[in-house]
Amino acid sequence: ISFNSVDSSLSSLKNCQSYINTGMEIATHVALDLVESFNDVEDVNSMENVMLEYAAMDRELNHYMTAIEETVNQIKREKPENIPDLKYLVNEKFTALESKNMDSDLQKNEKYIYFKDQVKEMRKQFCHQSDNDNEAIEQIDEDIAVTQSQMNFICPITQMEMKRPVRNKVCGHTYEEDAILKIIQTRKQQKKKVRCPKIGCSHADVKGSDLVPDEALKRAIDSQNKQ
């Protein structure tokens, strides 16, 4: 049995997934724009709903691709004499996967988690918390807040203000992207692990895959520089 057409379909589905990822990135940027501009919290919540809709599409697409791949592997393994009904087998597996869906699954989507985290950080950086936010930040002396923010702008590696900050998902510390990637690459060649450069941090295995752009911090730095 030739699976060329199936492989082509899978390739097309993966392209659709890239469109979903792009949509989620755009929604995240729009939400950050809204927080930075002190827009109504309802507007930010509407973007969160968009993210959940994208997460649902992503889950459905993943399930369908998994169903196709499992069906192909099953046929290759069993080698039936007659060509089975591929559509039926795929739908059967797809339905089984979809039956296990839970709303909480969507909140585990990596890009949704990033969205929530960045919106939270953005509200911290711009001191803009809604009355309904359960994680409201305590009001502190303005001078102390400014000093603390400026300290957060400094890369623990270069000791200079960051231009492209990335945050470690494991320990939460931020670094200049080029600086931390250079260290990771050097240690990799030496076959050594990278300890988090932040003084006092016990995280001893920083990986490139754990780093995500800290858009909220970058915006805060840019805003401070404009002032």
Q: In 3D, which of 176, 164, 177, 168 has the Cα closest to residue 201?
A: 168
User: Residue 57: its pLDDT value, please?
Assistant: 96
Percentage above 70 pLDDT, the chain: 87
Work out the pLDDT band at 202, boundaries 50, 70, 90.
Answer: very high
The CATH number that domain 165-225 falls under is 3.30.40.10
Beta-strand pair 174-176/211-213: unpaired
The CA distance from 52 to 61, in Å, is 14
Backbone dihedral angles phi then psi of residue 107, each to the nearest 5 degrees? -75, -5
Cβ atoms of 212 and 166 within 8 Å: the answer is yes
Beta strands in the chain (DSSP E): 165-168, 174-176, 211-213
Q: What is the pTM of this model?
A: 0.76
Q: Is the pLDDT of residue 99 over 60?
A: yes
Q: Is the pLDDT of residue 70 over 60?
A: yes
